[in-house]
Homo-oligomer: A and B are copies of this chain.
Amino acid sequence: MAFKRYIPVESISELTINRLSVYLRCLQQLEHEGGTTISSQELADRFHLNSAQIRKDLAYFGEFGIRGVGYNVTQLREHLVNILGLHEERRVLMVGAGNLGTALSHYSGFNTGGFRIVAILDSDPHKLGKRVPGGLTVESVVDLAQIVKERNGVQAVLNFAPAQLKGHPEVKLKNVDLKINLELLSFFLTHAARMASV
Main secondary structure of the interface of A (DSSP, over half): helix
A185 to B14, CA, bound (A): 10
A150 to B106, CA, bound (A): 34
**A93 sits at the interface (CB 8 A):** no
Place the interface of chain A in its size category.
Answer: 35 or more
A188 to B172, CA, bound (A): 8
Q: Which of A1-9, A33-41, A123-131, A141-149 forms part of the interface with chain B? A: A1-9
A179 contacts B110, C-beta separation under 8 Å:
yes
Residues of chain A whose beta carbon lies under 8 Å from any beta carbon of chain B = 5-7, 9, 14-15, 17-18, 20-22, 24-25, 83-86, 88, 90, 92, 98-100, 102-104, 106-110, 113-115, 133, 155-156, 158, 162, 172, 174, 176-192, 194-195, 198
In the complex, 30 of the A-B residue pairs with CB atoms within 8 angstroms, ordered by the A residue number, are A6-B198, A7-B191, A9-B188, A9-B191, A9-B195, A17-B184, A18-B180, A18-B184, A21-B180, A24-B183, A83-B190, A84-B187, A85-B187, A85-B190, A92-B182, A99-B103, A100-B103, A100-B107, A103-B103, A103-B104, A104-B178, A107-B178, A109-B179, A114-B186, A115-B182, A155-B189, A156-B189, A158-B182, A172-B188, A172-B189
